Amino acid sequence: MRGGTVRFVLRRLAQLVPVVLAIAALNFALAKMAPGDAADILAGQMGHATLEFTQQLRREFGLDLPIVEQFLAYMGRTARLDLGVSVIQQQPVIELIADRLPATLLLMVTALVLAIATGVALGVAAARRQGTWIDNLISVSALLVYATPAFWLGLMLIVFFSIRLDLLPSGGMMQIGVAQTAVGKVLDVARHLILPAATLGLFYAAVYARLMRASMLEVYGLDFITTARAKGLSEGVIAWTHALRNALLPVVTLAGMQVGHLLGGSVLIETVFGWPGLGRLVFDALVQRDLNLLLGILFVSSVVVVLVNLVVDLIYGLLDPRITHK
């Protein structure tokens, strides 16, 4: 089993390289389809640029080279993990991404943890009390949340918690201007994180709650649960140890598959809350035709998604034998 797993991982990692490069090539083609280029945008920003000046900008940034040359240069750089320089922001793309990545990771990880914790807890509770008012309440709430557009939910939360109650900040990641101790900074970021993470996470919590509930109900019908009950174990122990471990698998698998979806959702959430993450950056990069930055972020995102898929497959492979061989 061990050797097989290692070979499996190595094989998948080796496949990763051509897959990611192919994705990078397709991203380039896609991005180049957008009309206008960064030279136009820069000239437009300056408000008064002659044709010669725009063309000069194009030459300065290599945007006047034949497209095949641009493509080859881009692929060559990407293969070396050199993401180039942002023409609009005049900074290396790696730096810009590194700047914003922590904020996005913080938001996504917090949202995911919240979603899984809440979803699993509620799903287990609903399954244990199947048919009661608790079950119905949880199911209906999950349905409602699942039907709510995340960006609108975010706005409504801002209206309630920030504008009406003045309990939480309405946007940003940190309070401006105030010098703070390290602990103070952590608390400040935490305060700013609550609403966006909750907004992003609630949707997935609803999904996981329902999935967890269905999964638990399915597991309850299996033989080894009856055995456990015969052994005299309490319902609580059965639910939270035996049943949970097995029912968790689909939820974890789904969570892994939704990393890409989370990234997409963060575009809207970061816009609503002014959270300085990659989601908003990729949108801005697109609008400004900042090709290197746009492609750089898509590259990083695709690597992350491919890696997470690999990890999920691994986990699935590890956990699966236990269920089938019960």
Partner 1 sequence: MNALRVFWRRFRNNRAAVGGLVALVAVVALSVAGPMFYPVDPFDMVGQPSVPPGGEQILGTDVAGRDLLAGLIHGGRVSLLIGFMASLAATLVGLVLGAVAGYYGGRVDDVIMRTTEFFLTIPSFVLAVVLVAIFSPTILHITAAIAVVSWPSVARLARAEFLAHRDREYVQGCRAIGMPDREIILLQILPNALPPVIVVSSLMVATAILTESGLSFLGLGDPNQVSWGYMIGVARSVLRTAWWMAAIPGAMIVVTVLAINLVGEGLNDALNPRLKQR
Partner 2 sequence: MNTRTLSLALVVAAIALGAALPAAAQKKGGTLTYTFHPEPTAMSTISTTAVPVSLVASKIYESLLDYEGPGMKPLPGLAESWTVSKDNLVYTFKLRKGVTWHDGKPFTSEDVKFSIEKVVTPFHSRGKTYFGEVSAIETPDAHTVVFRLKSPVPYFLRAFQASESPIMPMHGFTAEEIKEGKIRTAKIMQAPVGTGPFKLKEWKKGSHVILERHPGYWKAGKPYLDQVVLRVIPDGAARAIAIEKGEVDLAPMSGLPPAEAQRLGRLPGITASQEGNEGLGPIMWLEVNNRSKPLADVAVRQAISLAIDRKRLVDVIWYGQGKPASGPIVSGNPNHYDKKLGPLEYNVDKANKLLDAAGYKRGKDGVRFKLTQNFLPYGEEWVRQAEFIKQELRKIGIQVETQSLDMGGWLKRIYTDWNYDFTSNFTHNYPDPTIGVQRAFISTNIRRGATFSNSMDYANVKLDALFVKAAQTADGPARNKIWEEIQAILRNDLPVIFLMEISYTHVWNKRVHGLITNGVSMYSSWDSVWVD
> What is the binding site for partner 2 (CB under 8 A)?
34-37, 40-55, 60, 88-91, 99-100, 170-172, 176-177, 274, 276, 280, 286-289
How far apart are alpha carbons 262 and 273 in whole angstroms? 16
> Burial, 119: exposed, middle or buried (Cβ in 10 Å; 0-12, 13-18, 19+)?
buried
Give the one residue of 94, 155, 189, 194 binding partner 1; rule: CB under 8 A: 155
Say how many Å lie between the first and final Cα of the chain, rounded: 18
Instruction: Give the pair of three-digit tokens for residue 235.
Output: 């319902």
How far apart are alpha carbons 136 and 152 in whole angstroms? 25
| 298 near partner 1, rule: CB under 8 A | yes
User: Which option in partner 1, partner 2, none does residue 218 bind, with CB closer than 5 to 8 A by kind?
Assistant: partner 1
Q: Are 227 and 326 in contact (CB under 8 A)?
A: no
Residue 170: phi and psi, rounded to 5, are -90, -5
x/- track of binding to partner 1 for residues 203-242 (CB under 8 A): --------------xx--x---------------------
Collapse the DSSP code of 168 into the 3-class scheme (helix H, G, I; strand E, B; otherwise coil) and give the result. Answer: coil
Give the one residue of 26, 72, 109, 237 binding partner 1; rule: CB under 8 A: 26
User: Which option in partner 2, partner 1, none does residue 37 bind, with CB closer than 5 to 8 A by kind?
Assistant: partner 2
In the complex, the smallest distance separating the C-beta of residue 107 from partner 1, rounded to whole angstroms, is: 14
Bridge-based pairing of strands 91-92 and 85-86 is antiparallel
How far apart are alpha carbons 112 and 198 in whole angstroms? 10
> Burial, 45: exposed, middle or buried (Cβ in 10 Å; 0-12, 13-18, 19+)?
exposed
Give the one residue of 243, 282, 291, 295 binding partner 1; rule: CB under 8 A: 282
User: Which option in partner 1, partner 2, none does residue 250 bind, with CB closer than 5 to 8 A by kind?
Assistant: none
User: Which option in partner 1, partner 2, none does residue 24 bind, with CB closer than 5 to 8 A by kind?
Assistant: none
> Using CB under 8 A as the criterion, which residues of the chain lie in contact with partner 1 when the complex forms?
19, 22-23, 26-27, 30-31, 33-35, 143-144, 146-153, 155-156, 158-159, 163, 217-218, 221, 260-265, 267-268, 271, 282-283, 286-287, 298, 301-302, 305-306
